[in-house]
Structure 1
Amino acid sequence: MNKLREKIEQYILRVEDHWNAISVEKQRLMTKVFFGVYVLITIIVIVNICVTKDQRSNTISINHIDGISKKPTEKGSKHNEIVNSSTKK
């Protein structure tokens, strides 16, 4: 666990050194671009949610559950005792 922490700390220090090596003007430009992309993605997600919400109907669809076995249960099975013990009779 300590090795992982040390590797993460070394990586963060390398990235921070690289960031500090960039000129202040480039740092500001990159920050503005990253923030602009973040705002654009946020707006797209909000619009997508509003559009899909308006298109959906407010009805709940209840369907039959497929995949339940039609085989009769075995009386002496340990698995059935565990499963049936929690069901209401």
Structure 2
Amino acid sequence: MGKMFELAGIGRDFIRDIKWARLGGKLLDAVGMVVVVIVSIVGASIQWLITTVASAAVWFAVWVIGFAITFLFIARFSGFKFTKLMGLLS
């Protein structure tokens, strides 16, 4: 008879452990989901920042090149002497 009560106690402990394991698993899932959401938001922000900076750099480079071409075109056909410019800069 004592053996039966002992087995019942082991069974109760086992069921209680399963309940805690399920609760722990649910908590771990919830924490994992929160971590995934945070990492996704941070990753998207970094990606947006990189593409924005790269885009700005490309636009700036295009603007500088366009300005230089325009300046050279105007200078060429207006008779501007680059030696005068060098004299002014030095």
Q: Which of structures 1 and 2 has the bigger CA Rg? A: 2
TM-score, length-scaled by structure 2: 0.40
Please identify which structure carries the higher helix content: 2
Higher relative contact order (CA 8 A, sep 6+): 1
What is the TM-score with the length of structure 1 in the denominator? 0.41
